[in-house]
Amino acid sequence: MQKLIITVAISGAASPEDNPYLPKTPKEQIQAAYDAWNAGASIVHLHGRNPYTGKPEHKAEYLAEVIVGIRSKCDMIINVSTGGSGRRVDGEWLYKEIPEESVKGRVSVVAALCKGPETKPDLASFNAGSPVIDIYSHTQKDFLLKFVMVQSFPDMVYIANVLKENGVKPELECYDIGMINNCLFLRDIGVLEEPLYFQFVLGVLGQIPATVDNLLHMRRCIPEGTMWSVCAVGLNEWPMVTTAIILGGHVRVGFEDNIYLKRGVVAKSNAEMVEKVVRIAKELDREIASVDEARSMLGLSKYSNRR
């Protein structure tokens, strides 16, 4: 069985008001990634954040500062988001005041980062379809977030080509079974290149529920021997992570997906979540991959070779 690759998604597009421990400024994001690396994470997944407000804003200059800072402290694999643009149920674009939130705008940020070796990401997320992203408040009896992340086949072809042209490996984010089929179709027509790397995203309202049966089925739907990882929303994270460790998959944890170490116990850092994964893996006799080992498994070049 391969050694375990741990990805940490340190903030995502989470609201600063909802989590007092969320890393918001570049300095906080750099330290969060470094602490997670020390704890055992090989990959950091990044979203752009305005350094003045701490709120999500997908701009190359914001990401560049964080990437350079992380690489000054450690050799972590950098994974940059290309997801997040969405159309609300009323037809209005979410983030319509930010042109970078369009599909082409978001992937152009990755292309801009690739202009310099010090900011070029190793991986970029690739949303393999149009997931419904909803959050329901049981206390307010209302939907707090209501949009579809629009990703048509032409969008996916465009994003894949931009990543290919810039030498960035796509991390294929699949929120449901149909998205796996999308990736396999794109592979068959030559848009995606093997070896593929899947990230199964479970437990998002409107998409596939986070159950062991569903995770097993998703694993069976990808070609034999294909690398995969799993993340899940909220407390679903821990049983899905444990199942992935047992099955030979890889894992993602962090404040983008979950804030709880266990029911009623809020994590005070992303590193605490990585430390929990390491403890679970050790109990199950699964070794943790170093950054160099993770790069080799994913077919990525060493960052030092690109300087």
Q: What is the CATH number of the domain that holds 232?
A: 3.20.20.70
Give the tens place of pLDDT for each residue, 140-153.
677 666 667 778 89
Q: Is residue 141 part of a domain?
A: no
Q: Which helix (H) or strand (E) holds 123?
A: strand 123-127
The per-residue pLDDT for 15 is 78
Under 8 Å between Cβ of 175 and 201: yes
Axis-axis angle for helices 60-73, 103-113 (nearest 10): 40
What is the predicted pLDDT for the residue at 149?
A: 76
Average pLDDT, stretch 40-65? 93
pTM, to two decimals: 0.92
Q: Do the domain assignments include residue 140? A: no
If DSSP codes are grouped into helix, strand and coil, which group holds residue 68? helix
pLDDT tens by residue, 244-283: 999 999 999 999 999 999 999 999 999 999 999 999 999 9
Give the list of residues 6+ apart from residue 30 with CB closer than 8 angstroms, or none: 66, 69, 70, 73
Residue 172, Cβ density class (10 Å: 0-12 exposed, 13-18 middle, ≥19 buried): buried
- Indicate whether 144 belongs to any domain: no
| Residue-range definition of the domain harbouring residue 14 | 6-87+96-128+150-306
Evaluate whether residue 206 is within a structural domain.
yes
Q: Is the pLDDT of residue 169 over 90?
A: yes
Instruction: Give the residue-averaged pLDDT of 13-22.
Output: 84
Tens of pLDDT, residues 214-224 = 999 999 999 99
**Residue 171 lies inside a defined structural domain of this protein:** yes
With DSSP H G I counted as helix, E B as strand and the rest as coil, what are the percentages for the chain, rounded to 5?
A: 40, 20, 40
Which strands form 132-137's sheet, in the order they lie side by side?
A: 87-88, 142-148, 132-137
Q: Does a structural domain hold residue 298?
A: yes
